[in-house]
Structure 1
């Protein structure tokens, strides 16, 4: 079950460099996770100040 970034994302960018497989990128109004690449490690969630990344 891949992670996704909820609408609570504040676009701070803290999650992007933490992803070991580089599946997070800036979207139009929030960061997005490529679910085909996500390995479900949770590294993004552990650094997010608003806990926007969540498992689907």
Structure 2
């Protein structure tokens, strides 16, 4: 750290933590949405396979 650089203030620290929480929350929401989509695709594929099998 350069000599003339000031240590981060409490508000800067809080802001960076808030950004991290927001990023993690966004990633969690995205992961949930992707997992849901994959489940829907598999359910559709399995449903289609079983339907085709019985025809």
More strand by share: 1
Give TM-score scaled by structure 2 length: 0.22
More helix by share: 2
Give TM-score scaled by structure 1 length: 0.21
- Please tell me whether Structure 1 or Structure 2 has the larger radius of gyration of its CA atoms: 2
